[in-house]
Amino acid sequence: MTADQLGRPEPRYAGPRVRPRPRTRQEARAEVIVGALFVLTFLAGIGFVAAYAVDASTQVQGVLLALAFAGLGAGIVLWAQRLLPTRRTIEARHALRPEPAAEVSEAEAAMREAESGFTRRHVLLGFLGTALAGLGAALVVPALSLGPAPGRELFVTKWRKGSRLVDVDGNPVNADQLAVGGVVTVFPEGAPGDAMAQTLLIRVPPDLLDLPAGRASWAPDGYVAYSKVCTHAGCPVGLYRAIQHALICPCHQSTFDVLDGAQPTFGPAARALPQLPIQLQPDGTFVALGDFPEPVGPSFWNMTSGGGA
């Protein structure tokens, strides 16, 4: 325990004045190089911001960012290796009693001397701060490229309760248009061509359907509707093999069983195509009973938690 820890004031050094060791020529050169590397980091960081602002090529931006990181890393390594003291100093243990002023060691006195006032270390720290400011700007500015938050966009489509099923030209689809084994791409009325709402209306023999529990009424007379957006990577599921009642995505050959709620039976897709609940109207057209019960398209990280704004 030292005198300071006992609550007594630190003794003043009254011995001979000890001066910090003068820096060598190598140290002086190392200081200049470290400072230059930090300045390089700053300039490269600011250059990156400027290149980003004028939409320069990604190669130019990459080189500037690499220069900024390289300058910072090289400067810190050089500083640690060439300028930080490596000499080991052992200080005698203090006695547990008030120490006379003259007993303060020379090493401690030298340290106090070196730490007082404006030192070279402060200059280098200033350069380091400048370098970090430039690099920080380079790392923060690209955040401007992030688009708006998707909010609930990924969880809903344009299908609503009562939306009439229309073809790509906006004409209502009639049940008579489809023979057993037929398929047509449909959209909600008012949004023909909508990428997220595109849906496949397929007619199958009703007695073959083996839909998940609670969905029997979603497929009147064997007309069943599934999202056309592949749950693997979002390609349109454009092929229907009527004999096998299989929908096939041309991108990576994911195959979905139309009779069994469009469960994947082959390929990389891990999720069934969402089914749209539909109702057959007296005039032979169809309306949706609501939106898809789950998000369409590729899975995303908070899909099951229902996140979003």
Q: Which stretch binds ligand FES (CB under 6 A): 105-113, 191-199, 233-241, 281-289?
A: 233-241
CB of 265 to ligand FES, least distance (A): 12
Q: Which of 102, 239, 252, 307 binds ligand FES (CB under 6 A)?
A: 252
Q: Which of 76, 78, 235, 242 binds ligand FES (CB under 6 A)?
A: 235
246 binds ligand FES (CB under 6 A): no
273 binds ligand FES (CB under 6 A): no
Reported in sequence order, the residue ranges of 63-134 that DSSP labels E, i.e. its strands, are none
Half-sphere exposure of 40 (CA within 13 A, CB side): 20
Closest CB to ligand FES among residues 166, 247: 247
Closest CB to ligand FES among residues 126, 250: 250
Q: Which of 64, 249, 278, 287 binds ligand FES (CB under 6 A)?
A: 249
Q: How far apart are CA 95 and CA 92, in angstroms?
A: 9
Of 87, 67, 297, 64, which Cα lies nearest the Cα of 196? 297
Identify the H or E element spanning 38.
helix 25-53
Q: How far apart are CA 256 and CA 266, in angstroms?
A: 7
Closest CB to ligand FES among residues 124, 229: 229
Number of amino acids touching ligand FES (CB under 6 A): 12
Starting from the edge strand earliest in sequence, which strands make up the sheet with 239-241, in order? Answer: 239-241, 246-248, 255-257, 263-266
Closest CB to ligand FES among residues 245, 271: 271
Structure tokens at 186: 């449909």
Angle at 67 between CA 66 and CA 68, to 5 degrees: 90
Which residues of the shown chain bind ligand FES in the complex (CB under 6 A)?
Answer: 230, 232-235, 249, 251-252, 254, 267-269
